[in-house]
Structure 1
Amino acid sequence: MKLWRMVAGVLAFVLLGFGVAPAWACACGGYMSDAESQARARGENALVRFDGKTEEIVLSMAIQGSSKKAAWIMPVPAAAEVSLGEEYTFNRLISLTRPRVVVKKTYWPFRDLGIMGSGRDSASAPAPGAGVEVRGQMVLGPFQVVRLGGTSSVAVTDWLRTNGYVVPGGLGENLQPYLTEKWEIVAVKLAPKEKSGSLSGATPPLRLSFASSEIVYPMRLSKGASTEQAVTVYVAAPYRVDASRLPDPSVKPELLFAGRVETMDSDMNDLAAPASYLTAYSVTYAEPSRITDDFHFTRAATDEEFERVTYVTKNDGFWSTIGVLIGGLLILGGGAALIARRLR
């Protein structure tokens, strides 16, 4: 059952169709859904784990709608091992990196007047087969996973099309740079045992592991997206990282969190040493066509920690205010009496 859920996650990435026509490209790679699909993605989370020699990318998507035929494609720099991630990975990450809430008190009738603090929240900011190498195939629940190598995007897209993948226009052009750099292509498609099978809802995490000397998160396929693309990337490494190269240099990601977390959630294997320093970024691309590169992360100058803060003003109401005023008057009265006695 767990394997089925993990596999279900694999294709949840796949069924990110927009509208009626085949659509593709999510923040992590490319997806192609069937023409009848009304499925679309609402968001994406990615955990990138790096220990100096190996990189792991764990992905999860939130899908609205469903699709019976869909495919998902992601390039990786080296031969990949594909498996399913831990079910609650992103729930824990969201909990670990949420803003710290600081409560400010104010008293009636000063609420919302700006005299003793604002009532609003604020946050701190700081030919089929020819030219294509099939390197591996597996079936994970309702999904078929294939690892491909090649040098020609025409050959790769022909192979995909012949083997039942929906191939949208522009996919080959966006794949070619990865093939030129000798990246591997991981392709996943829905293959349910039942003809009525489909996928919808949140996807279980999918894990891809490969050898790497740098931290990279693939984004170039997203330039083919027809709608706004949003992604949150959590980087677990031995140190804090900076986003040194950006998919679109004109769009700067927001830093959400930076800090050591191994003692905060000992049950989360993805944050075990040495990759126990977590840096989180979030970004939205309103114009995906401007994307020209992947995310590249490098070691930051320091391991200074960062945490967002949300300030919440709490008004204690009329009777609390009266109590404070009476207390203040009693103190003032006692002080005045003491002064009078000393003067006498």
Structure 2
Amino acid sequence: MKVWRVVAGVLALGFVAAGVTPAWACACGGYLPDAESRARAYGENALVQYDDGTEQITLSMAINGSSKKAAWIMPVPAAAKVELGETGLFNRLDRMTRPKVVVRKTYWPFRDLGVMGSGPDSAGAPRAGAGVNVRQEMQLGPFSVARLEGTSGTAVTDWLGTNGYVVPSGLAENLTPYLTEKWEIVAVKLAPKQAGESMSGATPPLRLTFASDRIVYPMRLSKGAISEQTVTVYVAAAHRVDATKLPDADVKPELLYAGRVEDHVLTAPADYLTAYSVTYRDPSRITDDFTFERAASDEEFQRIEYVTRNDGFWSTIGVLAGGVLLLGAGAAVIARILVRRSSTDRA
């Protein structure tokens, strides 16, 4: 049985606020804060697991600012089971794929004294209403979850608006392709534990499990974003993987990492992690979702971050002094040899 796991982390998401033109769409769904806040989701992490026709996506959003309530939506190809996920996963994945740091030394004698101007250099690596069927409603920790089927994008957004969701312009149009393909819409409200509290930081992970005949990460809702969207995708599988279908065919993702890793979630055989990053400067060009397939080889790759470190004036003096001492010692040895030869010749 093949086991595939896909991990996706999505950055630079939009926000919706009263009187603000919404850059609401994120890579997998829309983040909708309450109308009185200017909080925004700046990071979204997702672990997607695929095993014999069953896909599982675990999501956690990072919130910049605070909001008394908020919501997000996500389309999935089939009826979803929704539950709380594991905490701490995404920090581990971030650490696994960081660049290897290589220190390059320099002994320029005056750099640290300010004689040459700038300090040490460093170089980084490349960088329920009509037309809506409410299938289930539940409470999971801080989440109120509704699973929706809809006959049209307008029917779904009307239901969302009636039930207290902020509905940005363009949402109905961007939901339509998913609803045409009979996808389910998962709508999630986030609320603090105590009345009057505000939410900030990372949300608890939420896990969605559903049937799928392919490994897919939904991206088409990002078409509604008006600011650039940066997406980082981690794929953990039995082998290295390629992104075989892209949201925007003209924008290629950058490879960040490829190699075997050790983690209690990413266990063998699905312990090969491949990471990509891509920025969509014109999200309106997004027309599809991400899909992933096995690559031609399992060649490993890791970014390298070069850091140039100057050992400074005194280190340079030490090197020079050491050199002088060595020269002096060498000269003394040569002098003794010459004296001995002179004495031998006189004898």
Residue 55 of structure 1 aligns to a residue whose secondary structure is strand
Structure 2 CA distance for aligned equivalents of residues 145 and 14 of structure 1: 21
TM-score, length basis structure 1: 0.81
> What amino acid is the match of 1:311?
Y
Tell whether the 8 Å contact from 2:256 to 2:277 is kept in structure 1 after alignment: yes
- 1:46 maps to what in 2? 46
- 2:298 maps to what in 1? 303
- 1:196 maps to what in 2? 196
Give the direction of change, closer, same or farther, for the CA distance of 1:110–1:191 in structure 2 (3 Å limit): closer
Give the direction of change, closer, same or farther, for the CA distance of 1:59–1:156 in structure 2 (3 Å limit): same
- What are the Cα deviations for residues 262-283 of structure 1, in whole angstroms up to 9, with x where unaligned? 2xx4xx42x1223211111222
Tell whether the 8 Å contact from 1:45 to 1:231 is kept in structure 2 after alignment: no
Structure 2 CA distance for aligned equivalents of residues 15 and 207 of structure 1: 22
- 1:122 maps to what in 2? 123
Tell whether the 8 Å contact from 1:230 to 1:284 is kept in structure 2 after alignment: yes
Following TM superposition, by how much is the alpha carbon of 1:319 offset from its aligned partner in structure 2, in angstroms? 2.7
- 1:292 maps to what in 2? 287
Following TM superposition, by how much is the alpha carbon of 1:333 offset from its aligned partner in structure 2, in angstroms? 5.5
Whose radius of gyration is greater, 1 or 2? 2
- 1:17 maps to what in 2? 16
Following TM superposition, by how much is the alpha carbon of 1:185 offset from its aligned partner in structure 2, in angstroms? 0.9
Q: 1:313 and 2:314 equivalent?
A: no
Percent identity for Structure 1 against Structure 2: 71
Give the direction of change, closer, same or farther, for the CA distance of 1:321–1:14 in structure 2 (3 Å limit): closer
- 1:81 maps to what in 2? 81
Structure 2 CA distance for aligned equivalents of residues 260 and 119 of structure 1: 34
- 2:207 maps to what in 1? 207
Residue 323 of structure 2 aligns to a residue whose secondary structure is helix
Tell whether the 8 Å contact from 1:51 to 1:274 is kept in structure 2 after alignment: no
> What amino acid is the match of 2:291?
H
Task: For 1:207-246, list aligned pairs within 5 A.
Answer: 207-246=207-246
Following TM superposition, by how much is the alpha carbon of 1:68 offset from its aligned partner in structure 2, in angstroms? 3.0
> What amino acid is the match of 1:148?
L
Which consecutive unaligned segments of at least 5 residues does structure 1 have? 1-12, 113-117
- 2:8 maps to what in 1? none
Tell whether the 8 Å contact from 1:15 to 1:39 is kept in structure 2 after alignment: no
Structure 2 CA distance for aligned equivalents of residues 168 and 294 of structure 1: 21
Task: For 1:132-171, list aligned pairs within 5 A.
Answer: 132-171=132-171
Tell whether the 8 Å contact from 2:111 to 2:313 is kept in structure 1 after alignment: no
Following TM superposition, by how much is the alpha carbon of 1:176 offset from its aligned partner in structure 2, in angstroms? 0.9
- What are the Cα deviations for residues 168-199 of structure 1, in whole angstroms up to 9, with x where unaligned? 22111111111111211111124567552442
TM-score, length basis structure 2: 0.81
Give the direction of change, closer, same or farther, for the CA distance of 1:52–1:105 in structure 2 (3 Å limit): farther
| Displaced runs of 4 or more, over 6 A | 336-340
Residue 160 of structure 1 aligns to a residue whose secondary structure is helix
Q: 1:277 and 2:272 equivalent?
A: yes
Residue 74 of structure 1 aligns to a residue whose secondary structure is strand
- What are the Cα deviations for residues 23-57 of structure 1, in whole angstroms up to 9, with x where unaligned? 42112211323322211122333333334533222
Tell whether the 8 Å contact from 2:42 to 2:63 is kept in structure 1 after alignment: yes
Q: 1:175 and 2:175 equivalent?
A: yes
Give the direction of change, closer, same or farther, for the CA distance of 1:18–1:159 in structure 2 (3 Å limit): closer
Residue 268 of structure 2 aligns to a residue whose secondary structure is coil
Residue 109 of structure 1 aligns to a residue whose secondary structure is coil
Structure 1 CA distance for aligned equivalents of residues 57 and 161 of structure 2: 26
Residue 46 of structure 2 aligns to a residue whose secondary structure is strand
Structure 1 CA distance for aligned equivalents of residues 157 and 99 of structure 2: 44
Following TM superposition, by how much is the alpha carbon of 1:158 offset from its aligned partner in structure 2, in angstroms? 2.6
- What are the Cα deviations for residues 84-103 of structure 1, in whole angstroms up to 9, with x where unaligned? 22221121111111111111
Which consecutive unaligned segments of at least 5 residues does structure 2 have? 1-11, 113-118, 342-347
Following TM superposition, by how much is the alpha carbon of 1:329 offset from its aligned partner in structure 2, in angstroms? 4.0
Residue 95 of structure 2 aligns to a residue whose secondary structure is helix
- 2:344 maps to what in 1? none
Give the direction of change, closer, same or farther, for the CA distance of 1:317–1:120 in structure 2 (3 Å limit): closer
Structure 2 CA distance for aligned equivalents of residues 195 and 316 of structure 1: 56
Give the direction of change, closer, same or farther, for the CA distance of 1:158–1:18 in structure 2 (3 Å limit): closer
Structure 1 CA distance for aligned equivalents of residues 120 and 249 of structure 2: 36
Tell whether the 8 Å contact from 1:137 to 1:144 is kept in structure 2 after alignment: yes
Give the direction of change, closer, same or farther, for the CA distance of 1:155–1:110 in structure 2 (3 Å limit): same
Tell whether the 8 Å contact from 1:104 to 1:314 is kept in structure 2 after alignment: yes
- What are the Cα deviations for residues 291-343 of structure 1, in whole angstroms up to 9, with x where unaligned? 2111122211111111111111222222322232233344456667778859x
Following TM superposition, by how much is the alpha carbon of 1:256 offset from its aligned partner in structure 2, in angstroms? 1.6
Following TM superposition, by how much is the alpha carbon of 1:107 offset from its aligned partner in structure 2, in angstroms? 1.3
Following TM superposition, by how much is the alpha carbon of 1:21 offset from its aligned partner in structure 2, in angstroms? 3.8
Tell whether the 8 Å contact from 2:99 to 2:125 is kept in structure 1 after alignment: no
Give the direction of change, closer, same or farther, for the CA distance of 1:29–1:278 in structure 2 (3 Å limit): same
Tell whether the 8 Å contact from 2:228 to 2:279 is kept in structure 1 after alignment: yes
Tell whether the 8 Å contact from 1:214 to 1:298 is kept in structure 2 after alignment: no
More divergent stretch after superposition (157-166 vs 310-319): 157-166
> What amino acid is the match of 1:27?
A
> What amino acid is the match of 1:305?
E
